[in-house]
Amino acid sequence: MLDNNQLLRFTTAGSVDDGKSTLIGRLLYDSKSIFEDQLQAIEKTSKKKGHDGVDLALFTDGLRDEREQGITIDVAYRYFTTPKRKFIIADTPGHIQYTRNMVTGASTANVATILIDARHGVIEQTKRHAFIASLLQIPHIIVCINKMDLVDYSEEVYNNIVRQFEDISSKMLVTDVRFIPMSALNGDNVVNKSENMPWYQGAPMLHTLETMHISSDINKVDARFPVQTVLRPQREGFIDYRGYAGRVASGIFRKGDEITVMPSGFTSKIKTIDTLKGELEEAYAPMSVSITLEDDIDISRGDMIVRSNNKPEALQDIEVMLCWLNNNPAKPRAKYTIKHTSNEQKAMIKEVVYKYNINTLDRIHDDNELNMNDICKVKIRTTKPLMVDSYRENRTTGSIILVDDSTNETVAAGMIV
Amino acid sequence: MSKYYLNYLDELESEAIFILREVWAQFQNPVILFSGGKDSILVTHLAKKAFYPAKIPFPLMHVDTGHNFPETIQFRDNIIKELGVNLIVGSVQESINDGRVAEEKGKNATRNALQITTLLDAIEANKVDCAIGGGRRDEEKARAKERFFSHRDDFGQWDPKNQRPELWNIFNGKHFQGEHFRAFPISNWTEMDVWNYIKRENIAIPSLYFAHEREVVWRQDTWIPNSEFLILEDHEEVVVKKIRFRTLGDITITGGDESEADTLEKIAAEVAGMRNTERGNRSDDKRSESAMEDRKRQGYF
């Protein structure tokens, strides 16, 4: 691998019937990311189950319950590397009752892959998957039109599905969408170019994943540095050292930059940007560094260092697209702990503005109940201001979770509108 | 603007540092679980980076089975001295002496499962609320489902079906008295990533990882090192081979591979060409299809 190789995270949503597991198995198998002992174990199981040959879908087997029921329940993470990139797959279930798992897997992805069975075309589930990808603002979408072998590798079928998908996606916030006709079962256009579809001029899936431009996926404009903790070594050579440790959420910070600390509003200049390997001239997202300032000001976890000429909003009333993740429904006007970057406050859901029917994408205005897997727009009030950007502008400073203090569980995930 | 991106190793490093700092900020009394294996050495190295120029602000904890490679203990003591941090040792031998656990019997007996009790006792005795481990999701299918911040109930048990969702970079370490968390900063690293990073950063690792001559016995398709704990079968024979270890566990269960790789460069090249998973040589994982899941549910690493 080369030194400048990047990491690409992608999510796959789908059910067993879409051939999702077969697709992942095929990617791992054809890119030689599967080890002999794994292969042997799967050959053994395939034989036991009476399959011809190796059932590639078995590579994605997880917990005992999942193996027994033959389904994916939780998000599973899988890894493979090619000479061009390292890949992390967030493998999620596709059914409606696992919407929350899809949202989880999508939250960190650069790319969403959406599987369509060529025999069935765009169905309700496709719509839902596209909607989640657009809601979570995944920068790139690859639509895998799978099982082309079952429709005689027909270009017409493919073109029809592309049109159907564009019909629904035109109403959503998606920018970069690519379509690939494939047969994961036979390996057409997954790693190797298909000989059965000479009419398809594009690249196979792996090549697409290896070459798509992802450097611009992170916001490079708005410099945001949430402070995680304060480093005070109090040892020789560093007696007066006071460093603010954190990970650059977005943008670029340089030595000498004029900065403002939010929410206090104090201003100063960046004195040094430190790492174990030495001082840096600049730090950009997503680097973890320690920043020292020219002036001694009171800063602690939860504060945010930003460039003085470009500040986020400090808001106590926010509008949020919320996905409810927990078995227990939301309690009306109940208080939750809201977590936003390194900041933590109490919050109350004041109003459910509307709720989505996530099959039809219609908005429901007269239903205030929030149950597991519901996606809705809500108004939230916090006890103290949060320093926020809109999720569309900034995935890190635009996202929140809610924690139920009576169980300590993470009950909701939200994107600031 | 194209130069403003990180390569994959830098991104993994930055993610791990972020997690370690979150642990420090969200918990009262964290420890790093240190086995002397490459993954816990890597986590310790990343912790050094996360808190520089301050020292690592929490202790290392070693669950000592008594069945160690002598080289591992030497290495552990050196690193403690170098970092200037405290070491907490949980002793499986003491758990046996105290009657908390009973030794397995027979030729393939190991102390692997006994570690769970010792670990949970040490966590309770030291009021540890977060134990940081070097577990990776690529190691094993139960670990593929693991969170960065992984909740354990007041019996130390893991409930894989009821895990907290983890979204973006927001981690929820809230817990009640008596419960604790496990944190896995290198979740997203693969074995290859670990070796490439160790090579790049020139991190010191125990000599056992490099090819060396050693007395070994062929058992369960791997070279098991000869030691005072090994009970030989009649047909078994001790031979000297040039081997290296791909993972380090108890000396009684860790198999080595024949190898000539005696530098980090050669090891990385060898790992890149490996056709078997690294835990393939660990008899603790071979016991059943869900051996790891079952142990993890009970509180294993």
Claim to verify: residue A318 and residue A298 sit in the same structural domain: no
**B34 domain residue, yes or no:** yes
Domain assignment present for B91: yes
For residues B261 and B179, state if they share a domain: no
- What CATH number corresponds to the domain at position A240? 2.40.30.10
Counted domains in chain A: 3
| Residues, chain B | 301
Flag whether residue B84 sits within 8 Å of chain A, measured between CB atoms.
Answer: no
- Chain A residues lying within 8 Å of B141, measured CB to CB: 61-63, 76
B-interface mutation test, from A5, A6, A7, A215, most B Cβ less than 10 A away: A7
Q: A406 to chain B nearest CA, in Å? A: 10
Q: Are residues A280 and A330 in the same domain?
A: no
CB contact B45 to A (< 8 Å): no
Please check whether residue A1 lies inside any domain of the structure. no
- B160 has a chain A CB within 8 A of its CB: yes
**Considering chain B, what is the average pLDDT of its residues?**
88
CATH of the domain at A146: 3.40.50.300
d(CA A206, CA A192): 8
Parent domain of A377 = 313-416
Q: Is B282 on the interface with A (CB under 8 A)?
A: no
Do B219 and B166 fall into the same domain?
no
Q: Is A209 on the interface with B (CB under 8 A)?
A: no
- Assess whether A237 and A207 both reside in one domain: no
User: Hey, are the CB atoms on B8 and A7 less than 8 Å from each other?
Assistant: yes
State whether B275 and B293 are in the same domain.
Answer: no
**Are B228 and B160 contained in the same domain?**
no
- Do A401 and A276 lie in a common domain? no
B109 and B43 share one domain = yes
Flag if A88 and B17 touch (Cβ within 8 Å): no
User: pLDDT tens digits, residue range A12-44?
Assistant: 876 656 788 888 888 888 777 777 777 777 777
> Which residues 386-415 of A have a C-beta within 8 angstroms of B?
395-396, 399-401, 403, 408-410, 413
Are B14 and A288 in contact, with CB atoms under 8 Å apart? yes
* More confident call, A59 vs A368: A368
Q: What is the percent of chain B where pLDDT is above 90?
A: 51
User: What pLDDT shows up at residue A66?
Assistant: 63
Stretch 22-61 of chain A: residues touching chain B, C-beta under 8 Å = 35-38, 61
- The last residue of one of the domains, among A260, A287, A307, is A307
Q: Which of B167, B271, B277, B289 to mutate to test the interface with A (most CBs of A within 10 A)?
A: B167
Q: Are residues A150 and A59 in the same domain?
A: yes
* pLDDT at residue B1, as a whole number: 42
A170 touching B, CB under 8 A?
Answer: no
Higher pLDDT: A332 or A319? It is: A319
**Does B188 share its domain with B62?**
yes
- Across the interface, do B144 and A62 touch by the CB < 8 Å criterion? yes
Same domain, A48 and A192: yes
**Percentage of the residues of chain B whose pLDDT score is greater than 70:** 93
Mutation target for B interface from A36, A64, A248, A391: give the one with most B CBs within 10 A: A64
Q: Within a domain: residue A82?
A: yes
Whether B223 and B90 map to the same domain: the answer is no
Q: What is residue A72's predicted lDDT score, i.e. its pLDDT?
A: 60
Per-residue model confidence (pLDDT) at position B162 = 80
Mean pLDDT, range A201-229, rounded to an integer = 93
Residue A84 touches partner B, C-beta closer than 8 Å = no
Taking the C-alpha atoms of residue A206 and residue A193, their distance in angstroms, rounded to an integer, is 10
Partner residue opposite A215 with nearest CB, options B5, B10, B275: B5
Which residues are paired to B150 by β-bridges? B182
Residue type, B295: R
Q: Is residue A404 part of a domain?
A: yes
- Residue range A207-216: mean pLDDT, rounded: 91
- Domain co-membership, B110 together with B186: yes
Same domain membership, residue A51 and residue A199: yes
In a domain, B199, yes or no: no
Domain that holds residue B225: 205-281
Q: Which of A307, A338, A359 is the C-terminal boundary of a domain?
A: A307
B145 neighbourhood in chain A, CB within 8 Å: 62-63, 74-76
Which residues of chain A make contact with B10, given a CB cutoff of 8 A? 287
Q: Are residues A179 and A208 in the same domain?
A: yes
Domains in chain B, number? 2
With an 8 Å Cβ cutoff, is B274 touching chain A?
yes
Q: What is the pLDDT of residues B250-290, one digit of tens each?
A: 888 888 889 999 999 999 888 887 767 766 655 555 555 56
In this structure, the answer to whether residues A302 and A317 fall within a common structural domain is: no
SS3 of chain A:
CCCCCEEEEEEEEECHHHCHHHHHHHHHHHCCCCCHHHHHHHHHHHHHCCCCCCCHHHHHCCCHHHHHHCCCCCCEEEEEECCCEEEEEEEEECCHHHHHHHHHHHCCCCEEEEEEECCCCCCHHHHHHHHHHHHCCCCEEEEEEECHHHHCCCHHHHHHHHHHHHHHHCCCCCCEEEEEECECCCCECCCECCCCCCCCCCCCHHHHHHHCCCHHHCCCCCCEEEEEEEECCCCCCCCCCCEEEEECCECEEECCCEEEEECCCCEEEEEEEEECCEEECEEECCCEEEEEECCCCCCCCCCEEEECCCCCEEEEEEEEEEEECCCCCCCCCCEEEEEECCEEEEEEEEEEEEEEECCCCEEECCCCCCCCCCEEEEEEEEEEEEEECCCCCCCCCCEEEEECCCCCCEEEEEEEC
What CATH number does residue B149 fall under? Answer: 3.40.50.620
Q: Which of A205, A184, A147, A188 is nearest to A59 (CA)?
A: A184
For residues A137 and A196, state if they share a domain: yes
**Does residue B231 sit within a domain?**
yes
Q: Identify whether residues B101 and B175 lie together within a single domain.
A: yes
The 10s digit of each residue's pLDDT in A146-179 is 999 999 999 999 999 999 999 988 888 888 999 9
Residues 6+ apart with CB under 8 A from A258: A267, A268, A269, A307, A308, A309
The reply to whether A333 and A369 lie within a common domain is yes
The answer to whether the Cβ–Cβ distance between B4 and A220 falls below 8 Å is: yes
Query: Would you call B277 and A38 a contact, using CB atoms and an 8 Å cutoff?
Result: yes
Q: Do residues B114 and B161 both lie within one domain?
A: yes
Whether A62 sits inside 8 A of B11 (CB atoms) is no
Whether residue B81 lies within 8 A of chain A, CB to CB, comes out as no
- Chain A residues in contact with B8 by the CB 8 A cut-off are 1, 5-7, 85-86
Are A288 and B21 an interchain contact pair (Cβ–Cβ within 8 Å)?
yes
Q: Domain for residue B79, yes or no?
A: yes
Q: Are residues B181 and B211 in the same domain?
A: no
Task: Confirm or reject contact between A107 and chain B (CB < 8 A).
Answer: yes
Task: Using an 8 Å CB-CB cutoff, list chain A residues near B84.
Answer: none
B168 touches chain A (CB under 8 A): yes
What's the pLDDT score for residue A3? 64
Domain boundary, last residue among A170, A196, A216: A216
Same domain, A290 and A411: no
**Residue A231 in domain:** yes
Same domain, residue pair B36 and B181: yes
So what's the pLDDT on residue A398?
Answer: 97
Contacts of B45 in chain A (CB under 8 A): none
Q: If we measure between CA atoms, which residue out of A183, A115, A131, A130 comes closest to residue A154? A: A183
The percentage of residues in chain A with a pLDDT greater than 90, rounded to a whole number, is 64
Question: Per the domain annotation, does B274 fall within a domain?
Answer: yes
Please report whether residue B238 resides in a domain. Answer: yes
Per-residue pLDDT at A75: 83
For residue B200, being part of any structural domain is answered with no
Segment B91-117 shows an average pLDDT of 81
Which among A35, A79, A337 has the least Cβ separation from residue B275? A35
CA distance A41 to A54: 10
* Higher-confidence position of A55 and B199: B199
Q: How far is A393 from chain B (nearest CA, A)?
A: 15
Q: Is B192 on the interface with A (CB under 8 A)?
A: yes
**pLDDT tens figures, A330-385:** 987 889 999 999 999 999 999 999 999 887 888 999 888 899 889 999 999 999 99
